[in-house]
């Protein structure tokens, strides 16, 4: 990667991290879509995992007193098995197929967020066991599933702090397992070491900025711009970057 590309991604990492601080989640979804403009899926997903691991470790530490352990252990139990299955599936897929899936998943997350506002039912506790497995599989293929997981884990007994901290811990577990899985099959993170070193402090600074400055923005206007950008990136991944290449 060139220094110019690294600078673009570092700036993007800052603003997407700030975005997550404002609206709760979604920054990672934008970031993985941007990564795919500069690197192949086989590199974008593990590099994204490292950057998000750093960002969510910091967030989890800040909310360490607000972790819902009764949900965490259930989620974690089958997560490694899901990671293994997801990695096996990912290695058998073409780059175009992965990009199409990521683009489609981004669009699905937008509808899931909207539907979640009207759903009053909670998942039973046992459902967090298979959820960990499914999230593990999807996280290896599409790179980010926090928006969907965030909707599914809404529960009456969780305070806002519990929700943010527990969702952050989920992300720590999934991204750690994802990075380890890619390293075990031969991915060399050092090839993207400069980019990672530039983006890790950027996401941490973005979280701070989002908490202290961007909270003054109109969330309704912000979400409309955010959704429009996600749809544009998703359609580019599906149509221009994948289908056009497959057809021609």
pLDDT per residue over 153-186, tens digit each?
777 787 777 877 888 888 889 889 889 989 988 8
Cβ–Cβ < 8 Å for 202, 14 = yes
Mean of the pLDDT values across residues 143-162? 73
Q: 13-22, 146-155, 179-188: which range is least confident on average?
A: 146-155
| Cα-to-chain-centroid distance, residue 58 | 15
Predicted pLDDT of residue 211 = 64
pLDDT band for 118, please (50, 70, 90 cuts).
Answer: very low
User: If we measure between CA atoms, which residue out of 22, 25, 16 comes closest to residue 150?
Assistant: 25
164 burial level (CB within 10 Å; 0-12, 13-18, 19+): buried
Mean of the pLDDT values across residues 10-23? 78
Predicted pLDDT of residue 223 = 61
Name the 3-class secondary structure at 222: helix
Whole-model pTM? 0.75
Q: What are the φ/ψ torsions at residue 87 (nearest 5 degrees)?
A: -65, -40
**Whether pLDDT at 143 is above 60:** yes
| Nearest-angstrom CA–CA distance, 224 and 152 | 22
Cβ–Cβ < 8 Å for 227, 33 = no
CA distances from 64 to 57, 166, 169 (A): 10, 9, 9
Q: What are the φ/ψ torsions at residue 124 (nearest 5 degrees)?
A: -65, 155
More confident residue, 56 or 133: 133
**Whether pLDDT at 199 is above 70:** yes
Mean of the pLDDT values across residues 64-76? 90
| Cα-to-chain-centroid distance, residue 125 | 23
**Whether pLDDT at 214 is above 60:** no
| Nearest-angstrom CA–CA distance, 141 and 124 | 26
Q: 45-49, 89-93, 225-229: which range is least confident on average?
A: 225-229
Cβ-based neighbours of 138, under 8 Å, separated by 6 or more: 86, 105, 145
Phi-psi region of 85 (alpha: psi -120 to 50; beta: other; left: phi over 0): alpha
User: If we measure between CA atoms, which residue out of 135, 120, 51 comes closest to residue 85?
Assistant: 135
More confident residue, 28 or 34: 34
**Whether pLDDT at 16 is above 50:** yes
pLDDT band for 129, please (50, 70, 90 cuts).
Answer: very high
List the alpha helices (DSSP H) in the chain. Answer: 3-23, 27-35, 41-62, 69-77, 79-91, 95-116, 128-142, 146-152, 160-184, 193-212, 219-235, 244-247
| Nearest-angstrom CA–CA distance, 87 and 63 | 30
């Amino acid at each position: 990667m060139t220094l110019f590309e690294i600078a673009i991604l570092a700036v993007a990492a800052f603003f997407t991290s700030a975005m997550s601080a404002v609206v709760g989640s979604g920054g990672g979804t934008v970031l993985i879509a941007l990564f795919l403009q500069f690197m192949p899926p086989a590199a974008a997903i593990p590099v994204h995992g490292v950057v998000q691991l750093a960002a969510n470790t910091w967030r989890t530490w800040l909310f360490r007193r607000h972790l819902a352990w009764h949900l965490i252990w259930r989620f974690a139990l089958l997560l490694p098995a899901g990671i293994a299955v997801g990695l096996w599936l990912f290695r058998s897929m073409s780059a175009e197929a992965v990009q199409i899936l990521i683009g489609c998943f981004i669009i699905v997350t937008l509808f899931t967020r909207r539907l979640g506002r009207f759903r009053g039912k909670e998942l039973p506790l046992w459902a967090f066991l298979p959820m960990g497995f499914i999230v593990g599989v999807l996280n290896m293929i599409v790179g980010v599933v926090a928006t969907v997981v965030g909707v599914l884990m809404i529960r009456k007994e969780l305070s806002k702090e519990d929700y943010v901290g527990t969702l952050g811990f989920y992300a720590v577990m999934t991204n750690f397992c994802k990075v380890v899985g890619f390293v075990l099959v031969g991915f060399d993170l050092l090839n993207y070491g400069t980019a990672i070193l530039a983006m890790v402090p950027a996401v941490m600074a973005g979280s701070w900025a989002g908490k202290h400055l961007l909270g003054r923005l109109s969330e309704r206007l912000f979400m409309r711009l955010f959704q429009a950008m996600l749809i544009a990136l998703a359609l580019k991944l599906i149509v221009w970057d994948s289908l056009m290449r497959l057809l021609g």
